[in-house]
Amino acid sequence: MRACDSVSAWEISGPSGSNPPATLNWLLRGARKVLTSRPPDLLHCPSFVAPWGVPIPFVVTVHDAGGRRFPGDHPLEWRIYDRALLGRRLRAAARVITGSNFGRKDVIDAYRLKDDRVVVIPYGIDSRYFEPVTTASGAGPAVMLFPGAPVPRKNIDAVLSCMAAADTGSALGASRLDISGARAADFPEVVARIASAHLATRVRWLGHLPADDLPSVVARSSVVVYPSLSEGFGFPVLEALAVGTPVVCSNRGSLPEVAGDAALLVDPSDPRALADALDAVLTRPEVRQRLRDSGRKRAREFTWKKCAQSTCEVYRTVVSETNARP
């Protein structure tokens, strides 16, 4: 019997979009009403937010405590929820799941959680990243991909500094930077910094791309650069490893756990180290090939099947504990 055969699941959800009053009403009353009318053994809240007054034990997935340490990267309603309510909801949970040992320590420290209530279950990667895709051709300037919104925590300034300081005749000095998952109009301060560094002709904003297009975008890039100051897991790094694109990323947060020796890890506060790592990937074929080979191997260690199996074990433990209470 497979690990999850005995688990039957269904979904409940609150209002879609940004509607704080409606969301609050659902958290206070709506979820409880649904769960009371059809009570399951357990509720799993997979994205931080957990409703109040639910009549059953619940589990919450939390990637890290980034909302506490980098509040400026989050919208106002999230900052309010994080400061006023999240800690209490996590302490009320039967278990808290996080994707890395770094994330586990981060949430325990930030939200004062009990060690035995927080479980590390590494996440998986979408199978589309293992399918054959067109890779970088090697013709023309190198393309560096910065995946995700360039909020301060993601540290795009380090990449821009390296590009601006590089010799014009070097691979890094001639390289282009693509920013995926964000529009220029939403980040005017970053656009201004790009312009002031005289990089406007070398930076391209790809916007929000369809999920099916992302593997090809990553594969066509010469390198994925991800000098984030903190990550609870780091999906973009894992996705790049899966398609065989070399990765240069930060040595902070969970990224060393996820990447292992399959990426070049650098201090994100050291521009010289970042530039040297990017130069090594862009100019040394043996480095690129080693990272491609080790990256694909490393990525296959992270599957949603493993994640689901471990999650189901948490469910069984929580239900067993609940049933054992007098």
Domains annotated on the chain, with CATH: 20-124+304-324 (3.40.50.2000), 127-299 (3.40.50.2000)
Tokens of 38: 């059809």
Long-range CB contacts for residues 16-22, cutoff 8 Å, separation at least 24: 18/75, 18/77, 20/77
Label residue 1 by pLDDT band (50, 70, 90): very low
Label residue 16 by pLDDT band (50, 70, 90): confident
- 18 pLDDT above the threshold of 60: yes
Cα gap 94→109, rounded to integer Å = 18
- 20 pLDDT above the threshold of 80: no
237: CB partners within 8 A, 6+ apart: 224, 226, 247, 249, 255, 258, 259, 263
Residue 196's φ and ψ, nearest 5 degrees, are -65, -25
Whole-number percent of the chain with pLDDT over 90: 74
Q: What is the mean pLDDT of the chain?
A: 93
Cα gap 283→173, rounded to integer Å = 12
What integer pLDDT is reported at residue 235 of this predicted model?
96
Report the pLDDT averaged over residues 200-226.
96
Cα gap 57→170, rounded to integer Å = 58
Label residue 3 by pLDDT band (50, 70, 90): low
What integer pLDDT is reported at residue 28 of this predicted model?
87
Report the pLDDT averaged over residues 102-115.
97
Report the pLDDT averaged over residues 237-255.
97
pTM of the entire predicted model? 0.92
- 232 pLDDT above the threshold of 80: yes
What integer pLDDT is reported at residue 77 of this predicted model?
81
- 19 pLDDT above the threshold of 80: no
What integer pLDDT is reported at residue 138 of this predicted model?
67
Among 41-55, 85-99, 109-123, 244-258, the least confident range: 41-55
What integer pLDDT is reported at residue 137 of this predicted model?
66
- Residue whose C-alpha is closest to residue 52's, from 96, 89, 13: 89
Report the pLDDT averaged over residues 106-122.
97
- E strands, 41-142, where? 43-45, 58-61, 95-98, 118-120
